Chains A and B, each alone.
Chain A
């Protein structure tokens, strides 16, 4: 009962609980929160306390003293640490509500990977309920991404969405408000970062952190061989000498480093196309594949997929927020028409 009363003071939220970033969308407000899914925990006398959440905690990644650990509670799109996820959600939900007097109790729609198991979905649901939500709905990420990208999901025409997230790449073929085919590859932005770290270690004998790897990916990373050549200067710890050294990297070698994860994404897209019903495949061949998610920001990833599949590939507007925005729109659609876009638990 108290949750319902508190609900009067709360907004409906659509949450993209991602491995790398958590985004919250509020109706008529747009994206109100976009923070890294990172929590810093201080251990004092065996007791754990939350030191920082989001951007503050991300700055601590790899720079923490012994008694503080900055962790990412989600792995491969699903919850790896239940309690920390709950605390993180609680923090984010209260952060997007103005009133500090009444604890918010919003209705929440959370996007889940389409290949997540019932246990993983339940963990996400429970986590949100414990974080104070009064009602939790789940939607499959590619469906939310398609709605957020502005595709006409209710039409009897096939649309293919490839959502390249931090931990997973979700691929789905959607028609008539439903997912016809879906697949989830456990490869995403994090794998790109790892590939860059290991490339730098192999090639330059130097160790760089995840944050540096991410910066390299954003600035010079690319997915297609014909791209413009770019360079970046980075510093890392030389493994042989043990002292920081500076060196420069170019986009060609980063492309080489990213070959393996990129090949996995391309392979998943191809197998989705192989398994799609012929009528829908024809629709996709005509209109093309839509890329969403933070990974779609990798330069010329669309050209790579287009080249490999021979189909038009477009990057959605503002791909990073597609899922959260789509979730919010889906919530409105469900309220208006009671359309069942919900994923079954």
Chain B
């Protein structure tokens, strides 16, 4: 799964390669025109992307403000309903008025609190969705500090922070020697932790989790694969797992449906890619590819 930037870069490489090898010199100006057009398209894409990130941020940020009011005043409404019920309860009424009081109390003690409960549980849900969107837009807007990363140390640190869970599950995590790559240490750690966390979370109940981390590289790219023997991902879900809020199951363990879309964002930012090979019931292997040479963030 290539990011738009990688696609453009690869195309440019191809055109340049073609030009050097087989084209007559007279084609060069035209070729250069194409390259420029590609670069312009790329810059436009980046700008549009930044614009989208900004919309996402503003929308999720500004929508939280009215939500705080809905939440706050609904909670107050709930309290006041209970107070009115109490007052009414204390009244000493006769005959028909007593029947009417009982009717009012039924509304106040059962139906209205139930409505308020629905409003509150749904604002809480909306709140968590908006927070998710905010987290995603933040990831997109982080200014990266790109340097050469010792992936052996970085992966070891990620494993270390999860050591409690790994021991609890008696999971086996093996790491082959990993080549270095270039990237932002925090964001790359986030990718590794996320994939490792998923490998543990989506373990098979029938076998001990076995996770193997390995890496390969050439001059320009370094790839790392995290392979597990977990529950795997059915083919029909495989293209959608990168989508924001997409969850395969709706159990609590399934999480908020944000992890992989954040991974995808981080990989795009690194002009890298993430891919998946998985078989339901057998396990999954996620491969992330980072630049193996210095690069600059284009925004």
A and B part of one assembly:
no
Binding site for A on B (CB under 8 A): none
